[in-house]
Amino acid sequence: MYRHALPAALLAAFILSSCAMFEESSRDAHYHRRFFPSIQYIHHPDTVRVDDEATLGDVRRAWSVRYIQRTGSGLYSPSGYHTSATLLSRELVEMTLDYGVGTADLSAELREQMVSNEMEAYEDFVWFDVYMFVPNRRPYTLGDVNLGGAGSRVYLVIDDTRYRPEHVRGSDLTRELTVDGSEVFQRANHIAFPRYVEGTDILDGAEELRLVVVPSGVRGDELWFQWRIRADEA
């Protein structure tokens, strides 16, 4: 289990990110039934290229991928719900904060200070949201969707170098009732990796990011989520 502390500003950003993104999903009941690509080709996460007409959901989808199951036989797309991951790029974080802080009952000065603090925290970490789904039946347990729990492992591979997370924070567990009357467990897991290792920016010159998730359990499942930075953007 990962127990390192994060700055309060970053945790606040995580909370705002979750609330805004889940509210966006609630308006689109089929969001987690979408088929995301198994590899997302992206510009550098620090680059902001948002169309004026783009919604928060549009930008979120542009940074989201479905899982590739490398090993094991676990079911992570139960009843049409798909486990996915989102890389929190600068443009996505900025839009999320605009949404969350903009709708909050705060003074203009406090809004500006919150955004400034949270964007400063963004600079120090590489963030991911992983939305895990498993069926509510044996042999699955609540631990299969809790990536910060005992027995689960998460790491980031950038161009063959592996990194461990600083923090894994899970949302409240939710249950989705499917059309066939069965239940699905869902949890959002917010994962932060240190951006700088021994003074070096791990995204500097990066070409491929691969988030590897090994849920708890005895099935030996290993899930990959992959993003590739376009050659002219690395």
The encoded tokens of residue 133 equal 């789904």
> If you average pLDDT over residues 54-70, what whole number do you get?
90
Instruction: Give the residue with greater pLDDT, 112 vs 215.
Output: 215
Q: Give the side-chain half-sphere CA count within 13 A for 112.
A: 3
Q: Who wins on pLDDT, 136 or 102?
A: 136
Q: Which amino acid is at 130?
A: V
CA angle, 20 then 227 then 167, to 5°:
55
Question: CA of 150: how far to CAs of 111, 154, 217, in Å?
Answer: 37, 11, 10
d(CA 188, CA 22): 9
Distance CA 25, CA 87 (A): 16
Q: With CA atoms as reference, report the closest residue to 126 among 180, 94, 89, 81.
A: 89
DSSP class of residue 147 equals T
Instruction: Please classify residue 213 by burial: count the beta carbons closer than 10 Å to its beta carbon, then call 0-12 exposed, 13-18 middle and 19+ buried.
Output: buried
User: Looking at residue 218, what is its pLDDT?
Assistant: 59
**Backbone phi, then psi, for 72, in 5-degree steps?**
90, 175
Report the amino acid identity of residue 119: M
> In this predicted structure, what is the pLDDT of residue 48?
87
Where in the chain are the domains?
8-229
Mean of all residue pLDDT scores within the chain: 80
User: How many angstroms separate the CA atoms of 133 and 213, rounded?
Assistant: 13
pLDDT at res. 22: 46
Confidence of residue 45 (pLDDT cuts 50, 70, 90): very high
Q: What's the pLDDT at 26?
A: 38
Residue 54's Cα: distance from chain center in Å?
20
Q: Model confidence at 195, in pLDDT bands (50, 70, 90)?
A: very high
In this predicted structure, which of 14-18, 37-41, 88-92 has the lowest mean pLDDT?
A: 14-18
Query: For 59-73, 97-111, 166-180, which range has the lowest pLDDT when averaged over its residues?
Result: 97-111
Please tell me which residue, 4 or 157, carries the higher pLDDT value: 157
Taking alpha carbons only, the member of 40, 41, 60, 39 closest to residue 50 is 60
- Report cis status (omega within 30 of 0) of the bond before 194: no
Which pLDDT does position 212 carry in this prediction?
A: 97
Residue 234, pLDDT score: 56
Query: Token match 């099935």: residue?
Result: 219
Give the mean pLDDT of 75-83: 85
Full-model pTM: 0.83
Question: Where is pLDDT greater, at 125 or 139?
Answer: 125
Q: Are 227 and 42 in contact (CB under 8 A)?
A: yes
Reduce the DSSP state of residue 145 to 3 states and report it.
helix
Question: Given a cut of 60, is residue 108 above it in pLDDT?
Answer: yes
Mean pLDDT of 216-227: 85
